[in-house]
Amino acid sequence: MLMDEGATASEIAGYLYTAATEHMGLTDHGRLLAEKSEQVARLLVQIRPEFGTH
């Protein structure tokens, strides 16, 4: 998956945004959803070392 493959925060944010808008049908009024996707992606990249390997 993206985290195991070393994806960038930008790639993860894009994935999260697409999942929310295209697969879950959410709308992004005022870019709030895009901003939240970017915030979560940055946090995930920061904690990636804690995930360890499988």
Give the pLDDT confidence score for residue 53 in this predicted structure.
59
Give the pLDDT confidence score for residue 51 in this predicted structure.
82
d(CA 7, CA 41): 10
Tokens of 45: 């990249």
Burial class (CB in 10 A: 0-12, 13-18, 19+), 30: exposed
- Note down pLDDT in tens along the chain; length 54 residues: 899 899 999 999 999 999 999 999 999 989 999 999 999 999 999 999 988 755
Say whether pTM exceeds 0.75: yes
